[in-house]
Amino acid sequence: MDKTYNKLIEAGIQLFGDYGFDAVSVRDIVRGSGANLSAVSYHFGGKSELYKAVIEFLTQEMKDQLTAFDPETFVTLTLDKMETRLREIIFEFHQLFTSANGISRLNIFTRETASPDKNLSHQYFLDMVGCVRECFTRILSAYYQKRNEPIDKVNFVIILLISMLKNTSQNHCIELIPQEERDDVLTRLIDLIIYSKL
């Protein structure tokens, strides 16, 4: 893929994330990417197709991150190493959406899970959420089994993780609590997931 294509994708992530699909024009994307007006038509065909490409890009990005968590190796670890790695995985998962441009990714994620757009891209997000669920189900099930705990709480824990992301998005829009308190909430959430206690 050439540089113009990548610039259009990045501009799309930021603008669709910040303002939503309907509020963003092709001219906005062109201006944000530094490309010329014909580039969107050449690479994607139009705004709807660019949005689909953005969603597909974000889905693949998430799949790559989940692969990097390496659940195959995780399930072979000792319990103490599992605990250490599980903390890292949850923190890395959270950081993916709070890094540079991460909040734009998170805004798209939140909008798509709450209210799918009308451009047939929602299937990509269902695929992404399915991959997240599958990865964390495998990791958490292995951890709880090694602790001789029931694994029926795995779905609840995954809902907690997704809720954490949605709340992160809201907290970036309105600073309700200081950063150190948000860090404490994340630490306590990880303790809740790992040890089932606050």
Q: Is the confidence at residue 170, as pLDDT, over 90?
A: no
State what percent of residues in the chain have pLDDT above 90.
43
Give me the residue label for tokens 């580039």. 39
Q: Report d(CA 11, CA 76) in Å as an integer.
A: 41
Of the listed ranges 83-87, 132-136, 177-181, the least confidently predicted one is 177-181
Tokens of 104: 């734009």
Of the listed ranges 33-47, 161-175, 177-191, the least confidently predicted one is 161-175
pTM equals 0.80
Q: How far apart are the first and last CA of the chain?
A: 47
The pLDDT tens digits of the residues spanning 7-32 come to 999 999 999 988 988 899 999 999 99
Q: Which of 41-53 are b and which e, b meaning 16 or more Cβ less than 10 Å from the residue's Cβ?
A: eebbeebeebbbb
pLDDT value at residue 94:
81
Q: Is the confidence at residue 124, as pLDDT, over 90?
A: no
Q: Report d(CA 29, CA 57) in Å as an integer.
A: 16
Pair 54, 24: CB distance under 8 Å: no
Domain extents for the chain? 52-195
Fold of 52-195: Tetracycline Repressor; domain 2 (1.10.357)
pLDDT value at residue 173:
47
Q: Is the confidence at residue 172, as pLDDT, over 80?
A: no
